[in-house]
């Protein structure tokens, strides 16, 4: 059961939503390191994506397999959009952007998805007041993301094609969260996730056919670090994370759930330091503080303004 803002009314479900969002984002933050390992072992970006989503689809289908289609063509189309926005186009745009612009540009621009979500909600749902705190917190958190992204690199260049693809990926994820907001009212998260993986793979196959210099599929079963990381991407960063994310959006709403995406850069920073031995600079620590502070300030400013308004009335 949900209210007009897309949030659940079930007691205690909100706390689960926060935990679910944190776990999902933590897995996605770690997934950058796993993907890097697979790329270094000869697998192509689209190839990695297709393998992980096929594995995720098989696992989800074992749990959710009774219902094949949505209730009508419109909602089936929305499920296809989930597969495109949170699957094929998102990952392919992000990975292709890395070939045309700096990694720092991609990391920073794709981290704008929470802010884009706020803007879209403000434009589409006129009756939903986001509050000044939401905007202030978003700006501070983005500044924190910038600091984390530039932890090990101070390079800033404008490279139109790659930067546009990065923004397209951010927009796709924001759109996915808003579509989820609507579908959650009619379908369970398992069905939505299964359809997302199905359409994600289906719409990525044409891109796979044109991907060059990809490793033979047998490589996956030869190297422990290859199939180990692929298993994590398929089971953890796809199956578990997408189900948890759908639950988080259902519980918290699209805006609040997407704010947790800012933590993805923190997780990647920490994992890179521990696993890859990358150095965390003062700029990185400042970024972490700004992200946490921005999200905390956003909620608290809104609460203060609401109490002040209620007191004046």
The reported pLDDT for the residue numbered 156 is 57
The reported pLDDT for the residue numbered 42 is 82
**Considering just the CA atoms, what is the radius of gyration of the chain in Å?**
19
Q: How many CA atoms lie within 13 A of 78 on its CB side?
A: 19
What does the pLDDT average to over 58-64? 95
150-183 confidence digits (pLDDT tens): 766 655 566 788 888 988 999 999 999 999 989 9
The reported pLDDT for the residue numbered 287 is 85
The reported pLDDT for the residue numbered 158 is 64
Query: Domain span at residue 197?
Result: 13-312
The reported pLDDT for the residue numbered 8 is 47
- pLDDT of 239 > 90? The answer is yes
Where is pLDDT greater, at 50 or 271? 50
What is the distance between the alpha carbons of residues 186 and 192, in angstroms, rounded to a whole number? 10
Using 50, 70 and 90 to split pLDDT, how confident is the model at 2?
very low
83, 199 Cβ separation under 8 angstroms: yes
Domain assignment of residue 170, yes or no: yes
83-131 confidence digits (pLDDT tens): 999 999 998 888 888 778 766 667 777 888 888 888 888 788 766 666 7
Domain assignment of residue 6, yes or no: no
Domain assignment of residue 8, yes or no: no
Q: In this structure, is the dihedral angle defined by the CA atoms of residues 34, 40, 46 and 48, taken in order, positive or negative?
A: negative
- pLDDT of 5 > 70? The answer is no
Domain assignment of residue 139, yes or no: yes
Provide the percentage of residues in the chain whose pLDDT is more than 90.
35
- pLDDT of 1 > 70? The answer is no
Domain assignment of residue 304, yes or no: yes
Where is pLDDT greater, at 153 or 244? 244
Look at the block and give the residue holding tokens 């519980």: 251
Using 50, 70 and 90 to split pLDDT, how confident is the model at 4?
very low
Domain assignment of residue 277, yes or no: yes
Tally the domains of the chain.
1
Domain assignment of residue 1, yes or no: no
What is the distance between the alpha carbons of residues 148 and 265, in angstroms, rounded to a whole number? 7
The reported pLDDT for the residue numbered 102 is 67
214-233 confidence digits (pLDDT tens): 767 777 777 888 899 999 99
What is the distance between the alpha carbons of residues 296 and 193, in angstroms, rounded to a whole number? 30
Enumerate residues 6+ apart whose C-beta is below 8 A from 251. 7, 8, 10, 13, 14, 16, 17, 20, 257
Q: How many CA atoms lie within 13 A of 228 on its CB side?
A: 6
The reported pLDDT for the residue numbered 172 is 95
Provide the percentage of residues in the chain whose pLDDT is more than 70.
87
Domain assignment of residue 25, yes or no: yes
């Amino acid at each position: 059961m949900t209210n007009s803002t897309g949030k659940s009314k079930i007691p205690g479900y909100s706390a689960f939503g926060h935990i679910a969002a944190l776990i999902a984002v933590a897995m996605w933050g770690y997934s950058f390191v796993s993907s890097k390992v697979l790329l270094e072992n000869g697998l192509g970006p689209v190839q990695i994506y297709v393998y992980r989503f096929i594995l995720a689809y098989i696992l989800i289908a074992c749990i959710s397999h009774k219902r094949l289609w949505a209730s009508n063509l419109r909602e089936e189309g929305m499920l296809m959009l989930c597969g495109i926005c949170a699957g094929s186009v998102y990952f392919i745009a992000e990975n292709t952007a890395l070939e045309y612009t700096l990694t720092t540009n991609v990391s920073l621009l794709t981290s704008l998805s929470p802010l884009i979500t706020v803007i879209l909600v403000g434009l589409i749902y006129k009756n939903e007041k986001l509050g000044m705190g939401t905007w202030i917190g978003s700006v501070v958190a983005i500044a924190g993301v910038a600091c984390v992204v530039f932890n090990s690199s101070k390079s800033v260049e404008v490279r139109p094609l790659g930067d546009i693809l990065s923004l397209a990926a951010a927009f796709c994820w924001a759109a996915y969260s808003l579509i989820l907001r609507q579908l959650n009212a009619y379908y369970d998260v398992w069905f939505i996730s299964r359809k997302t993986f199905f359409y994600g793979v289906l719409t990525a196959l044409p891109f796979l056919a044109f991907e060059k210099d990809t490793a033979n599929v047998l490589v996956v079963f030869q190297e422990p670090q290859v199939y180990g990381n692929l298993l994590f991407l398929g089971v953890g960063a796809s199956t578990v994370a997408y189900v948890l994310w759908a639950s988080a959006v259902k519980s918290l709403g699209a805006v609040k759930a997407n704010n947790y995406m800012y933590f993805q850069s923190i997780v990647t920073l920490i994992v890179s330091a521990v696993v890859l031995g990358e150095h965390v600079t003062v700029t990185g620590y400042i970024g972490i503080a700004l992200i946490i502070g921005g999200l905390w300030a956003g909620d608290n400013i809104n609460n203060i303004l609401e109490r002040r308004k209620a007191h004046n009335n």
